[in-house]
């Protein structure tokens, strides 16, 4: 097992042991790629949602929220292209009986070649030190050049095969690249087939003539079909945005990697409606803005990278992914897409209703263009916990597992811990807890040695522990212990709320 896999296993086990994430219906042995968020997970998830919602809706006066239903008229999915084109190419290995996405097998092969290039570059950077010219090295080193050539040769065939749904070409590429099944190691593949990812169900009873409806595979369409409702009732002027957080469902072919790829998941999407012609400018703006949002949490910059799409979706004229360095490597956490007027245009065509904007500055009507930011809430959750999970050896030789969750997102903000369960300390602690609970989610604990209680709070990422001791009874001061440094300081009990609020706030200082 490599280091990343080992760490990932520990993170999954930790999430279960400390009430962050449980497999769905666990007493029935779980349901594949569906998970439940436990007491700490639900809090962390809510805090991530809150951070996103505030950044979008509260901090931008021209972005408003929406909460559309999961079920939508079936024609929505015809207009959006999902009925005809929301397919993944699947392939089975005949020996292991494992199913894969053909495009992912090829992408993983490309990623391995990229990894080889990066290793060469890193080695050379070490050898040459300050004088290293990376651009020149990439352009002239024969081994790097050979691998770049290989990647280009693959893409020349891979991109059109995906765009045109040429499944035979994908199969031919997999065979020529000698891609083997990671489980059986064999190259005994079936043909590639298309598989639609939407879940469907029936609405109404069969005798009524039940109609086929879909569980939405993305939240975006709820925004598009409400574009005019919001624009008119909110008297919105371009550019303006509509933000939404909600469940989405995809019958993923390969659903492994914990909450990274689930069949039921949550998205946080924002569609920004702009004047046609300005979409590239706004695309650049949102690309930078979204990176800033991620970095404001204090997650190191090296954990992110931008991936430009080689293959654009049928609706886009520009697209990037923000990728995060998950324990299993760099993968998409958020997509930023310039969707043109594809969606509004398609809904106008299919519904026969005008979805336009009357521009009071130019006295003309037109269909706005859209720049979308779309982040998976569960992937953001996974990014936060995988970055936070830390095993530490302390100076006294003991070990602790601490979740360095950004304080603003931590499930519990404060633990109130009387040093001993006697001498009036619990009463004093309760009194403080009862005041603080109106400002933050707090925990009160008076059982076990204080060291063990600190460890339990570290393991769920509580940023501040307040200890009540005998001195508290004399001068009403308490100690506040900071999770990451374990430093303690004495402060007046009445200042706790103010001190913690200031430390966890996103407000610019
Ligand atoms: P992928 O290529 O990983 O399947 P995608 O490009 O299909 O993702 P989008 O359709 O752009 O994803 O969806 C926007 C966001 O929704 C993604 O960036 C991701 O964070 C999240 N997302 C998509 N599918 C899933 C899933 N099955 N489970 C969890 N999150 C998902």
pLDDT per residue as tens digits for the range 403-423: 999 999 999 999 999 999 989
Do 253 and 34 meet the contact criterion of CB atoms below 8 Å apart?
Answer: no
Cα 253 to middle of ligand 1, angstroms: 13
Residue 41: CB partners within 8 Å, gap ≥ 6?
15, 19, 20, 21, 381, 411
Of ligand 1's listed atoms, the one at least distance from the Cα of 331 is 3
pLDDT, position 85: 86
Cα 376 to middle of ligand 1, angstroms: 6
Answer yes or no: is pLDDT of 308 > 90.
no
192-222, pLDDT tens digit by residue?
Answer: 999 999 999 998 876 666 688 999 999 999 9
**267 in contact with ligand 1, CB cutoff 6 A:** yes
Question: 87-92 and 63-66: which strand pairing?
Answer: unpaired
Answer yes or no: is pLDDT of 225 > 80.
yes
Cα 384 to middle of ligand 1, angstroms: 17
Element counts in the chain: helices (H) and strands (E): 17, 23
Cα 481 to middle of ligand 1, angstroms: 39
Average pLDDT, the chain: 93
**320 in contact with ligand 1, CB cutoff 6 A:** no
Answer yes or no: is pLDDT of 3 > 80.
no
Cα 332 to middle of ligand 1, angstroms: 7
- Dihedral sign for Cα 219, 310, 283, 301, please: positive
Q: Which residue has the higher pLDDT, 109 or 130?
A: 109
pLDDT band (50, 70, 90) for residue 5:
confident
**284 in contact with ligand 1, CB cutoff 6 A:** no
Do 385 and 11 meet the contact criterion of CB atoms below 8 Å apart?
Answer: yes
Give the mean pLDDT of 327-338.
95
Q: Whose Cα sits closest to atom 6 in ligand 1?
A: 335
> Residue 496 CA to chain centroid, in angstroms?
32
**372 in contact with ligand 1, CB cutoff 6 A:** no
Give how far Cα 214 sits from Cα of 69, 198, 373, Å.
Answer: 12, 7, 23
Residue 399: CB partners within 8 Å, gap ≥ 6?
391, 392, 393
Separation of alpha carbons 104 and 308, rounded Å: 16
Nearest by Cα to 99 from 31, 209, 182: 182
Q: Whose Cα sits closest to atom 13 in ligand 1?
A: 374
Residue 159: CB partners within 8 Å, gap ≥ 6?
310, 311
Three-state DSSP at 107 gives: helix
Domains and CATH numbers, the chain: 1-85+197-403 (3.30.930.10), 87-195 (3.30.40.230), 412-504 (3.40.50.800)
Q: Whose Cα sits closest to atom 8 in ligand 1?
A: 332
* Beta-bridge partner residues of 71: 215
Three-state DSSP at 277 gives: coil
Three-state DSSP at 273 gives: strand
436-458, pLDDT tens digit by residue?
Answer: 999 999 999 999 999 999 999 99
Q: Can you tell me which residue has the tokens 């809430």?
A: 377
Burial 370-388 (b: 16+ CB within 10 A, else e): bbbbbbbbbbbbbbbbbbb
**246 in contact with ligand 1, CB cutoff 6 A:** no
Give the mean pLDDT of 238-267.
94
pTM beyond 0.85: yes
Cα 205 to middle of ligand 1, angstroms: 33
Give the mutation target among 374, 375, 382 for probing the ligand 1 site: most ligand atoms within 8 A of CB. 374
Cα 130 to middle of ligand 1, angstroms: 40
pLDDT, position 165: 85
Residue 367: CB partners within 8 Å, gap ≥ 6?
276, 341, 344, 345, 348, 355, 356, 357
Do 267 and 376 meet the contact criterion of CB atoms below 8 Å apart?
Answer: yes
pLDDT, position 310: 66
Q: Whose Cα sits closest to atom 9 in ligand 1?
A: 335
Q: Whose Cα sits closest to atom 29 in ligand 1?
A: 261
**378 in contact with ligand 1, CB cutoff 6 A:** yes
pLDDT, position 208: 63
Do 447 and 421 meet the contact criterion of CB atoms below 8 Å apart?
Answer: yes
Do 190 and 96 meet the contact criterion of CB atoms below 8 Å apart?
Answer: no
**375 in contact with ligand 1, CB cutoff 6 A:** yes
Residue 95: CB partners within 8 Å, gap ≥ 6?
181, 184, 186, 188
Give the mean pLDDT of 60-70.
97
Give the mutation target among 294, 332, 384 for probing the ligand 1 site: most ligand atoms within 8 A of CB. 332
On the CB side of 279, how many CA atoms lie within 13 Å of its CA?
A: 23
pLDDT, position 156: 94
Within 129-264, where are the H helices? Answer: 134-140, 142-163, 167-176, 220-225, 227-233
Q: Which residue has the higher pLDDT, 204 or 2?
A: 204
Answer yes or no: is pLDDT of 1 > 70.
no
pLDDT, position 132: 87
Give the mean pLDDT of 59-67.
97
**250 in contact with ligand 1, CB cutoff 6 A:** yes
Give the mean pLDDT of 29-39.
95
Residue 205 phi/psi, 5° resolution? -85, 160
Three-state DSSP at 104 gives: helix
Cα 87 to middle of ligand 1, angstroms: 13
Q: Whose Cα sits closest to atom 4 in ligand 1?
A: 261
Give the mean pLDDT of 129-158.
92
68-84, pLDDT tens digit by residue?
Answer: 999 999 999 999 999 98
Separation of alpha carbons 299 and 295, rounded Å: 6
Do 315 and 81 meet the contact criterion of CB atoms below 8 Å apart?
Answer: yes
Q: What percent of the chain has pLDDT over 90?
A: 85
Give the mean pLDDT of 251-277.
93
Separation of alpha carbons 496 and 467, rounded Å: 11
Give the mean pLDDT of 360-388.
96
Rg (the chain; Cα; Å): 26
* Range scoring the smallest mean pLDDT among 46-55, 59-68, 257-266, 313-322: 313-322
Q: Whose Cα sits closest to atom 11 in ligand 1?
A: 335
Cα 250 to middle of ligand 1, angstroms: 9
Answer yes or no: is pLDDT of 148 > 70.
yes
- Residues listed for the chain: 509
Residue 494: CB partners within 8 Å, gap ≥ 6?
476
pLDDT, position 209: 63
Q: Can you tell me which residue has the tokens 């509580």?
A: 462
**252 in contact with ligand 1, CB cutoff 6 A:** yes
pLDDT, position 507: 73
Give the mean pLDDT of 477-498.
96
Give the mutation target among 246, 328, 379 for probing the ligand 1 site: most ligand atoms within 8 A of CB. 379
């Amino acid at each position: 097992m490599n280091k990343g896999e080992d760490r990932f296993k520990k993170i999954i086990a930790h999430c279960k042991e400390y009430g962050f994430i449980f497999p769905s219906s666990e007493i029935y042995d779980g349901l594949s790629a569906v998970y439940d968020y436990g007491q700490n997970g639900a809090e962390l998830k809510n805090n991530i949602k809150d951070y996103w919602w505030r950044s979008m809706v509260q901090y931008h006066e021209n972005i408003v929220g929406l909460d559309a239903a999961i079920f939508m008229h079936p024609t929505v999915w015809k207009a959006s292209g999902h009925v005809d084109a929301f397919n993944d190419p699947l392939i089975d290995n005949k020996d292991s009986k494992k199913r894969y996405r053909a495009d992912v097998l090829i992408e993983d092969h490309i990623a391995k070649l990229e990894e080889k290039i990066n290793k060469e570059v890193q080695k050379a950077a070490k050898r040459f030190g300050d004088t290293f010219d990376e651009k020149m090295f990439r352009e002239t080193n024969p081994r790097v050049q050979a691998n770049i050539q290989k990647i280009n040769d693959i893409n020349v065939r891979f991109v059109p095969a995906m765009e045109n749904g040429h499944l035979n070409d994908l199969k031919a590429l997999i065979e020529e690249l000698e891609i083997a099944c990671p489980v059986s190691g064999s190259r005994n593949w079936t043909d590639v087939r298309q598989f639609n990812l939407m879940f469907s169900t029936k609405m109404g009873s069969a005798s009524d003539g039940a109609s086929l409806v879909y569980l939405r595979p993305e939240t975006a369409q709820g925004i598009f079909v409400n574009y005019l409702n919001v624009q008119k009732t909110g008297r919105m002027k371009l550019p303006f945005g509509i933000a939404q957080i909600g469940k989405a469902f995809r019958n993923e072919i390969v659903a492994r990697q914990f909450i990274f790829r689930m069949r039921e998941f949550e998205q946080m999407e924002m569609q920004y409606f702009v004047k046609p012609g300005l979409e590239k400018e706004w695309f650049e703006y949102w690309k930078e803005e979204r990176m800033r949002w991620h970095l404001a949490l204090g997650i190191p910059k090296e954990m992110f990278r931008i991936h430009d799409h080689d293959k654009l979706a049928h609706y886009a004229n520009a697209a990037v992914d923000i990728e995060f360095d998950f324990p299993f490597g760099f993968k998409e956490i958020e997509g930023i897409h310039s969707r043109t007027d594809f969606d509004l245009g398609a809904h106008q065509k299919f519904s026969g209703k005008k979805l336009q904007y009357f521009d009071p500055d130019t006295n003309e009507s037109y269909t706005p263009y859209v720049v979308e930011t779309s982040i998976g809430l569960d992937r953001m959750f996974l990014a936060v916990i995988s970055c936070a999970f830390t095993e530490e050896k302390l100076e006294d030789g003991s070990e602790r597992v601490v979740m360095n969750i950004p304080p603003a997102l931590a499930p519990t903000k404060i633990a109130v811990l009387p040093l001993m369960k006697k001498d009036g300390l619990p009463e004093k602690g309760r009194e403080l807890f009862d005041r603080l609970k109106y400002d933050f989610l707090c925990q009160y604990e008076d059982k076990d040695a204080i060291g063990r209680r600190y460890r339990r709070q570290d393991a769920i990422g509580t940023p501040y522990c307040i200890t009540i001791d005998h001195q508290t009874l004399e001068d009403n001061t308490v100690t506040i212990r900071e999770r990451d440094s374990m430093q303690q300081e004495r402060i007046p009990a009445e200042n706790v709320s103010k001190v913690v609020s200031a430390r966890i706030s996103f407000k610019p200082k």
